[in-house]
Amino acid sequence: MTTTEPNQSDLAAEQLRDAMVQHLIELGAARDPRVIAAFRAVLRHLATPDVDVAKAYDAEFAAVTKTDATGVDISSVSAARVQAMQIEQARIQPGMTILEIGSGGPNAAYLAEMVGADGRVITMDIDPDVTARATGFLQAAGYRNVTVLTADAENGAPDQGPFDRIVVTVQAADIPPAWMHQLKEGGRLIVPLRMRGMTRTVAFVREGDRLVSDGFELCGFVPMQGAGENRVRLAVLHDVEDEEIALRLDGHPEPDARALAEALHSPRATVWSGVTLGGSESNEHLDLWLTTALDNLPLMAAKPGARKRGLVTSASPLGVPTLVDGGSLAYRTVRATDAEDRYELGAIGHGPHGRGLAERLASEIRTWDREHRNDQARIEVHPAGTPDDRIPAGRRIERRHTRITITWP
């Protein structure tokens, strides 16, 4: 009997995979022993042969696999941390039938590990290049309980359901009726849902004709394509290379971009809230509170060059909540405090009403700290046309298929 010794590249990949899993455990992204085992098993580097193996096993690295004609990312293999986070949210059991919307390969393999030999995974994508790549990876990695479909996920996969779980790996602004109808009662839908510009991967549970949140996490995903495509619009305020500043509009009123551009070059008014965060604390619940409480609060995206030049003091790839009123604006910011690894929240305003807007933003930060800091919002999704008296009071987001509400205890 002969045995085949693993070669050096296989051993190196295994060591990198073990290190990635250990990092996922330390981050708290992978907690369930079955999730940990799944991430130890999948040879994710086979899905991105053009990427350095060490990079493929970087827990925070998302490999962009396709861009559109304008350079916007439209397909990727998500970072392992985000994949683990979503799979933890899904609470998958052996023998389940899972629909994955947005293919790539490795995530379907993780799902296949979770459901086991008696379960099924259906992964679908609108782009034949993506599904061809996913098919090649799954065959090379030896997964036989995964079906790959090339189709617009707006209609789900009616011939393959109903599903115990639906895991969406692209940013969605709406929930198509097919996803609800093909999900079993009590089933879980995990979806990166964009609400007023802010994206959270939400774990929803189906309760009759509505979806009710059971937790959410901060995330970033490439946008949905096809019939469900609904991208944010940009209102450019500063258009200098490497210093671009723009507002991301998602149902917000059309701003006076010219006046706001002038305001950005006017003296700033700074208001501090007295509320502090630890260095490892996330702003995700605060920002969701702000968009619940304030009407015209788009996100301001700014390149690092804009901050370096002093045009803005905060720049985030996900955008910074910015209160807008006519030709004035105010955005959330932070500063270091005397306490180690602790930062104070505040607001910076520009324009004729900049100080008033900054004071209002700081006031809502204090309200969040006083009344909701230890709370998590409840997000519900109801079919479009649901009467107001059947929907909870709170921030309502009207989409083509659904009425989404954000409420707080």
Catalytic machinery residues: 78
Kindly report the backbone phi and psi dihedral angles of residue 165, in degrees, each rounded to the nearest multiple of 5, phi listed first.
Answer: -145, 145
Label residue 89 exposed, middle or buried (CB < 10 Å: 0-12, 13-18, 19+).
buried
Question: Bridge-partner residues for 270, per DSSP?
Answer: 348
The 8-class DSSP code of residue 160 comes to T
Kindly report the backbone phi and psi dihedral angles of residue 293, in degrees, each rounded to the nearest multiple of 5, phi listed first.
Answer: -85, -30
Helices (H), 277-326: 284-293, 304-309
**Cα gap 362→273, rounded to integer Å:** 5
**Cα gap 341→339, rounded to integer Å:** 6
Closest CA to 138 of 168, 114, 113, 161: 113
Structure tokens belonging to residue 376: 């998590």
Label residue 201 exposed, middle or buried (CB < 10 Å: 0-12, 13-18, 19+).
buried
Structure tokens belonging to residue 182: 């093909």
Residue bearing tokens 């100080």 = 355
HSE at residue 245, side-chain half, CA atoms within 13 A, is 25
